[in-house]
Structure formats: structure tokens, C-alpha cells
Amino acid sequence: MQRIQDALIAEHVRRLLNGMGFKDAQVYCDSPQEHMLRISVHTEDSGSALIGAQGARLHALQHIIRCILRKNLHTDVYILVDVNGYRARRERGLAGLAEETARKAQRTGKAIALMPMNAVDRRAIHTALAGHKDVQTESLGEGAARRVVIHPVFL
């Protein structure tokens, strides 16, 4: 039953992308956990038109798909949309930024505020530094100005 539903969802997303001008988009769905749906989109081009600056268009596309599916499925499902593996590349880049900034905070003894980020990116920073004993992270600010601050910890 789940495979049939995933295939139907993939077809609806494919039609949406086709209507947006992405005629070559391939869409795959899977449910790695209960109440979670992962939608992977692959396009021949870089996908940058779907991703946008810092994933802004990808988040908007994900929101649109989430609204459509929740209305039609009548269920509360966490939906994660990825285009050409962007999310994994972004997480690796953010983890590198987090490590580098943590070293700098520890070396200088001063807290360092990162640029404002969306919730997904902030979570990646917190997760990357969760096991570090020499720094702590916190999110400060509101709305689009919310950012992660990395504090050195002196033992």
C-alpha cells in the first residue's frame, strides 16, 4: 500500500514540476520512518532554479508540496524535499563551517554569531557541534534574523 501511495505522490510532484517548466525532472519517494516522506528530485541541470540562494526556493517548494499533500492525504506527515542531493551537500558545508567556527571561538575565547539561517540549517549547526565539550551553541533572534551563536566553554 505504501509503495502505491509513494508512486502516486511522486507522480503529483512530477506534474507540478512539469507545470513549472522542469520537464526532465525525475521524482522518487520513500518513507524511511513512519509519518515521514522523503521526496528526491533529480534534474539534468544543476537544479539551482529549484534550490535558490541558500535553499530558499527549495524550502518554498517543500512548503507548497507539504500543503498540497496534507490537504489531499488528510494526515500530518513530515515532508522533506531534496533536489540533486543539495541537502547532503549543504549539511556537509554547514558542518565544516560549524567546526571551523568552533575552533575559532575556542582559540579567541569569544562567542561567534553566524549569519542568519533557517531552522533546518540552524539544526545542522547544533547537531554538528552537539558532541563538542569545548563549545556550546544557542539560537538567538527572531524570524529571518534568527542565528546560531557558538560560545567557547572553559573547563
| Domains in the chain, CATH or no CATH each | 2-84 (3.30.300.20), 89-152 (3.30.1370.50)
The greatest distance separating any two alpha carbons of the chain, rounded to the nearest whole angstrom, comes to 57
The model's pTM: 0.77
Q: Name the nearest CA neighbour of 60 among 69, 70, 50, 68.
A: 50
Residue with cell 526532465: 24
3-state secondary structure the chain: CHHHHHHHHHHHHHHHHHHCCCCCCEEEEECCCCCEEEEEEECCCCCHHHHCHHHHHHHHHHHHHHHHHHHHHCCCCEEEEEECCHHHHHHHHHHHHHHHHHHHHHHHCCCEECCCCCHHHHHHHHHHHCCCCCEEEEEECCHHHCEEEEEECCC
**pLDDT (tens digit per residue) in 7-61:** 888 888 898 899 888 888 899 998 877 778 889 999 887 668 889 888 888 889 8
The C-alpha atoms of residue 102 and residue 109 are separated, in whole angstroms, by 10
More confident residue, 46 or 114: 114
Supply the pLDDT for residue 4: 62
Band (76; pLDDT cuts 50, 70, 90):
confident
What would the grid cell of residue 53 be? Answer: 540562494
